[in-house]
Chain A
Amino acid sequence: QQPVQSPQAVILREGEDAVINCSSSKALYSVHWYRQKHGEAPVFLMILLKGGEQKGHDKISASFNEKKQQSSLYLTASQLSYSGTYFCGTEPQTGANNLFFGTGTRLTVIP
């Protein structure tokens, strides 16, 4: 039930934009996004619920297409502080109440 994330890694210059995709083979109730900096614990960014909602957090936003079981994280005008590994966590519509995490996307922002 692990979702698939793409790309696996991306390098950006400050100010550039990036999109990270998360796709599941299961019908989803919600999608979570987390960021983990090297050697630290993952930190919550946002939750998206079924209903096709979009959310924004500073210059980081996300969308959730429940019909396609896909979510995308958009990072605009990237900053050095955006560097880290981004994980999506998916919660299936049926089954246990827990998250299945993707393998992560390593984002590196350079000056």
Chain B
Amino acid sequence: DGGITQSPKYLFRKEGQNVTLSCEQNLNHDAMYWYRQDPGQGLRLIYYSQIVNDFQKGDIAEGYSVSREKKESFPLTVTSAQKNPTAFYLCASSPPGRLAGETGELFFGEGSRLTVL
């Protein structure tokens, strides 16, 4: 079955540590996204990538970093510079839209819940 796999599902870290969240997809989608979800704030875009070896900052990129070396993989690193990293992180991918420049439907992973102790 095709889909998006995020790992780990739960992660605890101490302050000052970097952690990397994994996101893998076998849907052959070019576009991939990372969102952060906090209670009452919806989904906020951290980073996105439209193609391999290219990515752009979203609304809340500070304290995060990403890489896109392979089409299937889009890992997110939460660095120690992120002031409030405790959150639920969602990775998504999308196929091209029907028209050029259109965002297709997003397919989400199950999410990773990060807690900083």
Contacts and interface: CB of A to CB of B under 8 A. Distances in A.
Nearest to B41: A103
B45 interface: yes
Contact of B45 (A41, A42, A98, A102): A98
Chain A contact patch, size range: 20 to 34
A99 B42 contact: no
Contacts of B98: 49
A100 interface: yes
B42 A101 contact: yes
Nearest to B99: A49
Interface residues of B, number: 29
Nearest to B107: A44
Interface stretch (A26-34, A53-61, A71-79): A26-34
B63 to A, nearest CB: 19
A1 B104 CA distance: 19
29 contacts: A2-B44, A29-B101, A30-B97, A30-B103, A34-B106, A41-B90, A41-B108, A41-B109, A41-B110, A42-B108, A44-B105, A44-B106, A47-B97, A47-B104, A89-B106, A91-B103, A97-B31, A97-B50, A97-B101, A97-B102, A97-B103, A98-B33, A98-B48, A98-B58, A98-B103, A99-B103, A101-B35, A103-B40, A104-B42
Interface of A: 1-2, 5, 29-30, 32, 34, 40-44, 47, 49, 87, 89, 91, 96-104
